[in-house]
Amino acid sequence: MLNLYWKSDNQTRTLRKKPFASEAEFEQYIFDNQDILGGDIYILHRQVRTGSKQGVLDMLGVDKDNRVCVIELKNEEADENILPQALGYAIWAETHPDSIKAIWLESEQRPEDIEIEWNKLGIRVILIAPSFKSTVPPMANKIGYSPDLLQVRRYCFEEEEFLLVENLKEEFERNSTTKVMREWDWDFYESEHGKEATAQFRQAVEAVAALVEKQGWDISYNLNKYYTGFKLGRTRLVFSVAWGGTYAWKLTFFKLPEDVAKGFKGRHWEFQRYDDTFHETIFRPLQPDSPDIEELEQFFVQAYEYISGTK
């Protein structure tokens, strides 16, 4: 049994469970608070009719790796039956790019930096529930789409709400003796962007990693197709080094208010723009071959404070 306590002002308060009254309420809550999915996902549409025997998909979105996100929720403990259901939706999405494109074009606020390859859709499956049966992670790891398993539980104390969000997929992969092959690595970057640009990009990643270590933050990074993300507690993006073209790259800070960084221009970096969709501030290197991040340290600190809630 999991017991949560909130300690503040020399008092220890017991947090009580606050389950969602219905799947519709749970879905609305996720839609209204999309950052709890990690900060790299934007939901385009809810209750998507697939026009097939699969039924109605809960939510459809995109992520920063230009993948279409198939999102299915359960407001109860999810068992193995959620897997074939999600698999059916994923296959539908992959085989009906025209339907996905229509939803994309109808969306009023499409992410600016996302460029979907309609002839070769990348699919990401995300399953969300308050809990999963222990048999689900190993079975999920065997299907081709390797779905994310997000366990979301809500607690409260008086009017304050607290969320416990766990990615069981990552936990299973860390503890499994069977290692999942990673598709993205430095060799992939080099094949896509060339040796020189990849060396610059890697130098920037290593500089950010050194700053994280100096600050003592619980932040790790992983390589993705279009960016290398630094995540707090392995789940929430704080900042990233991202590709901005074949040879160009940039630094992004999540949840950093636009007015904090707008107009900044230093010796090595300048403010490029603010992305409303993902709520990220983007900086461009003025000297890509010498990515000195020291003058941006204040923004790293502020981004960490906003995401971690220490500000």
What is the residue extent of each domain of the chain?
11-175, 186-306
Cα three-residue angle 303-271-217, rounded to 5 degrees:
20
The pLDDT score that the predictor gives to residue 311 is 64
The pLDDT score that the predictor gives to residue 177 is 41
Contacts from 224-231 at CB under 8 Å and sequence distance 24+? 224/64, 224/65, 224/184, 225/65, 225/66, 225/122, 225/183, 225/184, 225/188, 226/64, 226/65, 226/66, 227/64, 227/65, 227/252, 228/201, 229/40, 229/64, 231/38
pLDDT band at 301 (very low <50, low <70, confident <90, very high): very high
Mean pLDDT computed over 72-90: 92
The pLDDT score that the predictor gives to residue 126 is 93
Residue with tokens 């002839």: 119
Radius of gyration of the chain (CA): 20
Mean pLDDT score of the chain: 86
Mean pLDDT computed over 137-165: 87
The pLDDT score that the predictor gives to residue 120 is 80
Instruction: Say if residue 59's pLDDT is above 60.
Output: yes
Question: In the structure encoding, which two tokens stand for residue 112, read together?
Answer: 């600016």
The pLDDT score that the predictor gives to residue 74 is 95
Q: How far is CA 36 from CA 62, 146, 230, in A?
A: 15, 20, 15
More confident residue, 23 or 9: 23
Q: Please state which CATH class domain 11-175 belongs to.
A: alpha beta
Percent of the chain with pLDDT over 70: 93
**CA dihedral in degrees (81, 67, 44, 146; nearest 10)?**
20
pLDDT tens for residues 174-222?
544 444 445 688 999 999 899 999 999 999 999 999 999 999 998 989 8
Percent of the chain with pLDDT over 90: 36
Do the bridges between strand 11-14 and strand 249-254 make them parallel or antiparallel, or are there none, so unpaired? Answer: unpaired
* d(C-alpha 54, C-alpha 11), whole Å: 50
The pLDDT score that the predictor gives to residue 172 is 54
Instruction: Say if residue 121's pLDDT is above 70.
Output: yes
The side-by-side arrangement of strands in the sheet containing 236-243 is 219-223, 227-232, 236-243, 249-254, 280-285, 269-275
Mean pLDDT computed over 16-28: 93
CATH 3.90.1150 fits 186-306, yes or no: yes
Whole-structure pTM over 0.85, yes or no?
A: no
The pLDDT score that the predictor gives to residue 170 is 65
